[in-house]
Amino acid sequence: MNDHEVNIGILGLGTVGTGVAKILLTQQELLKTRSSLTFKLKSIAEVNWNVERDLNLDGIQCLTDADQILTDPEIDIVVETIGGYEPAFSFICRALRNRKHVVTANKALIATRGRELFKIAKENGVDLLFEASVGGGIPIIKGLREGLIANKFESIYGILNGTSNYILTRMHEEGLEFEEALKQAQAKGFAEADPTLDIGGGDAAHKLTILASLATSGMVDFDSLYVEGITSITKLDINFAKSFGYTIKLLAIFRSLANGLDLRVHPTLIPNTHLLAAVNNELNAVFVKGDFVGNTMFYGPGAGERPTGSAIVSDIVDLSRDLLLKEGEQYCNRPIDPERGVEIVPLSEIKNRFYLRFFTLDKPGVLSKIAGVFGEKGISISSMVQLETHEKDNYVPIVLLTHESSEQGMAEALREIEKFEFVKENYLRLRLF
């Protein structure tokens, strides 16, 4: 970095890369006023330059070979916006080994390969920043890393996937079945042609892994999280939840317990009185409780060209300020220690309240037998609803809400209930907030 000028190279000019480029090109004077630095977009590497983009790239090196950026001695910061695992992982590794600082929005890489990447960054005295990897334009990573740095984090609850949230909102507000709401999300561009990562909970789990790692200053093992998606939720379940005063959301959960962390992603019934229940459509929100600050909430757009681009540029500016202050010294602003392990509490040891929906034959003794199994396992029922049947097969929906019980006890009870001939296989178990 010379004369307070920061040279930047972007890998990938898709939606996010375009957003970053637009900000660097159009907000240069604003950024200089606020940071006392000049940010120069020197080079962009992209394999497909035939796509129409609303960008004036005069004076910028438009490349097809990423190596020209990764090996350019004038490039101070490499911005990776390719996404996915490869070649993004290899490019980031080479940039770090070439002692270039890296900014990325790649949540999948940070969550699953973060330990390797942070080690490489540490070995080479450079930084890897990732504000845009969680929550798009919401400054949640900066909030945990800086604004709430004086706090131990007791809990973090997040609606972290806009696609799933949009689908559940449409089911709640329009009475749509899951498949109908999914088609609507795809038509509006909120869901991919293959939405598995979103509706299956994987995307939210990637983000929770990052938040949990930040909250503990360690590195959480992504594979240790319990992950459940929203594909089994029906209009019937949405309506039952309404009747009990709840809204169903795909919730990412972090809780600090005496014996480790409770980390999971699954559909959750949230009381309508809680702020998270009012987070609708494609928006994201994160509810954080610190031991000194108490409850805080971060809310806003979780994806898109402009919000995600904004978050990436925020990292660029922060990193550049650090470089200016520490010029000539080895400096790294690492919020996560890749060598520090994190203890995860097994799901079987966690206690929850539960929502249970069964389809059973409409005949005497059904409820008493189900209730008997729960009683044997020490599970107490708090509410119960049974509807009349008008169907030819004579099956009726029964919905139960329980008091708090262990996950292990509930799993054992459900295995016993599954054996009853009068119970259909497609029952549903959800947790309550």
Catalytic residues: 207
Separation between Cα atoms, residue 76 and residue 124, nearest integer Å = 14
Which of these, 214, 79, 188, lies nearest to 134 by C-alpha position?
214
For the chain, the 3-state helix, strand and coil shares in percent, each to the nearest 5, are: 40, 25, 35
The two tokens of residue 47 are 């394999």
Alpha helices, H only, 98-177: 107-123, 140-142, 162-174
Tell whether omega for the bond before 139 is within 30 degrees of 0, i.e. cis. no
- What is the H or E stretch that residue 307 is in? helix 305-325
The answer to whether the beta carbons of residues 159 and 275 sit under 8 Å apart is: no
- The secondary structure of residue 145, as a DSSP letter, is I
- DSSP, residue by residue, 186-252: HHTTSS-SS-HHHHTSHHHHHHHHHHHHHHHTS---GGGSEE--STT--HHHHHHHHHTTEEEEEEE
Radius of gyration of the chain (CA): 24
Half-sphere exposure of 238 (CA within 13 A, CB side): 22
- The secondary structure of residue 73, as a DSSP letter, is T
**Residue 66 carries which side chain, given as an amino acid letter?**
A
The two tokens of residue 375 are 């009683």
The answer to whether the beta carbons of residues 262 and 272 sit under 8 Å apart is: no
Q: Please, what's the b/e burial string for 263-292 (b: 16 or more CB within 10 A of its CB; e: otherwise)?
A: bbbbbbbbeeeeebbebbebbbbbbbbbee
**Residue 305 carries which side chain, given as an amino acid letter?**
E
